[in-house]
Structure 1
Amino acid sequence: MRCHNLFLCLFIFFHTSECKSVENSPVYGYHLRVGVPEARRIAVKETLRGARIVGGSQVTAATVIPYQVGIIAALTGGASSVCGGSLISTTRVLTAAHCWFDGQTRATQFTIVLGSVTIFSGGTRLTTSDVTMHPNWNYYLNDIAYVKISAVTLSNTIQLIALPTTAEASRSFEGLDGLISGFGKTSDAQTTFPTSTALHQTTVSVITNAVCQNSFKVTIDSSHVCTSGTGGKGTCDGDSGGPLTVLLNNKRILIGVVSFGPSEGCQASSPSVFTRVTSFLTWINSNL
């Protein structure tokens, strides 16, 4: 993940040292580097029937993770990119800010896919350009955005995921089992078509930010939450914006939005990094 456009970096940051931080940003250039190739790969494979999350299993029915959203991002120039998201109200989807603008390429429209285990076929499909990135997004921090959609009808395949309550906002969630899901790659070696293109899921353990920091040169902030990569489990290319949920008090809640992973690869047994939802509850709730 490198900065190939020096002029853009200088324009944004005005001096070379700050451009250096953009060069190392895990989300800069996401669409052209990751999203577009993933979209092409998934689209072709789905015509053969049948993708992702490293170390996980295929989701066989949309009823299993009914809050999962697939996002097809139409980009300037005509290409398509892919991301994930979470349905938090009948008119709002939560995703990563870099799914709309990654610092290099901006989306012009999202196709929101609900109630489907495949992203390019099936389910309820809505288009929108009403996307609001967090105003303080800066490549490393505040990687969160909400998407306004036409009101959807809930069903056994389309359900909301609960947000943490105010009382739960101070929790670190350390040690809890987290559930991650997405349409992204299932291995680093996956340059050709995977064995399936269905939504995948896996269970990972939430770890402390201090432990997480040991695997990254960039600062792991209090507004991040991390999961262990033990056993080669974690998020991968194409999973950006998707959900990290935990079961708390017999209720599944959304605690993270997929942001970035280790530069050494998805199967390196290194942590995955998410935007911590509890750090943005006020912002999210004010826009519901």
Structure 2
Amino acid sequence: MSIKLEKYIISGWGWNEQYDTNTVLQKATIPLQDHSKCWISGAELDESHLCAGGTTSGGTCMGDIGVPLGGVARIEGGGPRFVQFGIASRDMQSCGVPGTTIYTKVAYFMDWIRANMEP
């Protein structure tokens, strides 16, 4: 199953532009980017990664490693639900500066996740 959305949602408690810890959960909508947008920053990406961000609408900041990259999608005949597509694994920009972030692709590791989940 392959789902593609126009915009994805990120949320987290990491630092803000003043490098202070947020006391309110932050969120932003960002697009996926071609791997080359993250590769420019010196990172090597493969099929286990997603590259997202690069807009002025917000993005990840220090302290946001581990935040979900998700969106609302319909899954095989069901109603809309939040689906997690990635987990932030490497920031490529400073706080308050538009840039990209590398995410670990959840779908790539689903076999391992299922095999290691508690019943």
TM-score by length of 2: 0.81
| CA distance in structure 2 between the partners assigned to 1:277 and 1:221 by the alignment | 13
| CA distance in structure 1 between the partners assigned to 2:105 and 2:56 by the alignment | 23
Q: Amino acid of the residue matched to residue 243 of structure 1?
A: P
The offset of 1:282, in angstroms, is: 0.4
What's 1:40 paired with? Answer: none
Q: Amino acid of the residue matched to residue 273 of structure 1?
A: I
Retained in 2: the 8 A contact 1:209–1:220? yes
Tell me which of 212, 220, 224 is aligned to 2:38.
212
The alpha-carbon distance between structure 1 residues 226 and 205, as it changes in their structure 2 partners (threshold 3 A), is same
Q: Percent identity over the alignment?
A: 28
What's 1:200 paired with? Answer: 26
| CA distance in structure 1 between the partners assigned to 2:28 and 2:13 by the alignment | 12
Retained in 2: the 8 A contact 1:232–1:267? no
The alpha-carbon distance between structure 1 residues 268 and 220, as it changes in their structure 2 partners (threshold 3 A), is farther
Retained in 1: the 8 A contact 2:30–2:52? yes
| CA distance in structure 1 between the partners assigned to 2:96 and 2:105 by the alignment | 23
Retained in 1: the 8 A contact 2:65–2:91? no
The offset of 1:229, in angstroms, is: 2.2
Tell me which of 14, 17, 23 is aligned to 1:184.
14
After superposition, the C-alpha distances for 1:66-115 in whole angstroms (9 at most, x for unaligned) are xxxxxxxxxxxxxxxxxxxxxxxxxxxxxxxxxxxxxxxxxxxxxxxxxx
Larger Cα-atom Rg: 1
Cα RMSD for the two superposed structures? 1.9
Bigger relative CO (Cα 8 Å, ≥ 6 apart): 2
| CA distance in structure 1 between the partners assigned to 2:43 and 2:68 by the alignment | 22
Q: Amino acid of the residue matched to residue 197 of structure 1?
A: T
Retained in 2: the 8 A contact 1:242–1:257? yes
4+ runs deviating over 6 angstroms:
none
TM-score by length of 1: 0.36
Retained in 2: the 8 A contact 1:232–1:266? no
Q: Amino acid of the residue matched to residue 277 of structure 1?
A: V
Higher helix residue share: 1
| CA distance in structure 1 between the partners assigned to 2:101 and 2:51 by the alignment | 6
Higher strand residue share: 2
Retained in 2: the 8 A contact 1:232–1:270? no
| CA distance in structure 1 between the partners assigned to 2:94 and 2:65 by the alignment | 15
What's 1:266 paired with? Answer: 95
What's 2:70 paired with? Answer: 245
| CA distance in structure 1 between the partners assigned to 2:49 and 2:15 by the alignment | 22
What's 1:227 paired with? Answer: 52
Question: Could you say what secondary structure the match of 1:181 adopts?
Answer: strand
Q: Amino acid of the residue matched to residue 101 of structure 2?
A: S
> Aligned residues, how many?
112
Q: Amino acid of the residue matched to residue 235 of structure 1?
A: T
